[in-house]
Amino acid sequence: MIVSPELAQFTEPLHLESGRSLNRFELAYECYGRLNDRKDNAILIGHGLSGTAHAAGRHHPEDFRPGWWDAAIGPGKMFDTDQFFVVCSNVLGGCGGSSGPSSENPDTGRPYALDFPVVTILDMVRAQVRLSDHLGIERWHCVAGGCLGGAQALTWGQHFSGRVNSVLSVGATAETSAHSLAFFEVIRETIRRDPNWNGGNYYGGPAPTSGLTLGSLIGMLFWMSPDAMDTRFGREKVKDGPQFTLGSEYKMQAFLQNIATNVERKFDPNTLLYVTRAMDYFDLSRGYPNLQGALESFPDRTLLVSYKTDWRYPPHKIERLAEAIRRVGRSVEHVTLESIFGHGAYLFDVEKLTPVVRKFLT
């Protein structure tokens, strides 16, 4: 599947939760499949923390890797493009073409860097509502995603239920936990402590890629479950490798070092500061008396998926969200799946997710 990146430009100011505004902004997006005449077969996909709009297919036949959710999007796949028109947009604050810290600040002609305003997930979703208008889509058949994408889907349900028939959220709880607040702080700290970071003003010079790499390595410790690591690598040593050194003598460690040398150099470290901060703020009940009150206008079709091994977003917390949705009289299904991949299961274990999602979408 060869796909083309698209760019939508918006010149009406976007008022942000912080009180600041973006007078103009852009969103990068990609489309897979065809919008039908009734325009009722559109699915919006939200990406995770390090994602972009490039969810499926390849831009060029010789591209080494396809989009990040290629296993899930395409003809006959989980999001069946023979049936659905699937759209994925890079979040506001991102670095895959949408306006973010690496974009040119129209007021100065230079990159925003940390002058880019702090954005929330509701801000990201409001920008996506503009994209919906741009595409002429009045109602999404479904808004779907995992992790940050799940938080986006839930926010769509909370604030724009008139424009979405159903919500599909994988590995997302009603609010970011204290542990994740800590995790995101450490990730940001790895970037800020890279000498190249320079207060965020590194554009045109060397980027803080070492900090970004460390952040990716730390992330690995969290998305891949301990059982998955035992199963896949165990304590096997690198064949004919060194002994009694301080190097990466185990296959598990060589795997990490391989990731470290292959970290996406195109990903902007400042964007990681912004998207993790948006996740920090994520709490459906923020500004409401309680969670139930926050869900009063939620749509009547929701699928929540959790994984037994996802200890950061555990099934019991996702069930709590399901209960709150039920208490406001909306129908919701919560499915807990097995996987050794923990929080990363929605990306790496699409096979198990597929029948559950396909049933939900039809």
- Residue nearer to its own copies on the CB measure, 11 or 261: 261
Residue 157 near residue 167 (C-beta atoms within 8 A): yes
- Residue nearer to its own copies on the CB measure, 91 or 357: 91
- Residue nearer to its own copies on the CB measure, 75 or 234: 234
Query: Shortest gap between Cβ of 120 and its own copies (angstroms)?
Result: 8
- Residue nearer to its own copies on the CB measure, 133 or 283: 283
Query: Shortest gap between Cβ of 244 and its own copies (angstroms)?
Result: 4
- Residue nearer to its own copies on the CB measure, 261 or 362: 261
- Residue nearer to its own copies on the CB measure, 156 or 274: 274
Residue 118 near residue 18 (C-beta atoms within 8 A): yes
Q: Sheet holding 6-10: strands in order across?
A: 6-10, 25-32, 85-89, 42-46, 142-146, 167-170, 302-307, 332-337
- Residue nearer to its own copies on the CB measure, 179 or 359: 179
Query: Shortest gap between Cβ of 174 and its own copies (angstroms)?
Result: 11
Query: Shortest gap between Cβ of 326 and its own copies (angstroms)?
Result: 23
- Residue nearer to its own copies on the CB measure, 118 or 129: 118
Which residues of this chain interact with its own copies, rule CB under 8 A?
17-20, 114, 117-118, 175-179, 181-183, 185-186, 188-190, 193, 195, 210, 213-214, 217-218, 220-222, 226, 229-230, 232-235, 243-246, 248-250, 252-253, 256-257, 260, 273-274, 277, 280, 283, 311-312
Sequence letter at residue 198: N
Query: Shortest gap between Cβ of 183 and its own copies (angstroms)?
Result: 6
Query: Shortest gap between Cβ of 133 and its own copies (angstroms)?
Result: 26
Which contiguous run of DSSP H or E holds residue 306?
strand 302-307
Query: Shortest gap between Cβ of 291 and its own copies (angstroms)?
Result: 13
For residues 72 and 172, give the distance between their C-alpha atoms in angstroms, rounded to a whole number.
Answer: 18
Paired residues of 336 in beta bridges: 306
For residues 327 and 304, give the distance between their C-alpha atoms in angstroms, rounded to a whole number.
Answer: 15
Query: Shortest gap between Cβ of 18 and its own copies (angstroms)?
Result: 4
- Pairing of β 332-337 and β 85-89: unpaired
DSSP 225-292: -HHHHHHHTTTPBPTT--SSSSS--BHHHHHHHHHHHH--TTS-HHHHHHHHHHHHH-BTTTTSSSHH
Question: What are the phi and psi torsion angles at 205 (to 5°)?
Answer: -120, -170
Q: Which of 254, 263, 253 is nearest to 210 (CA)?
A: 263
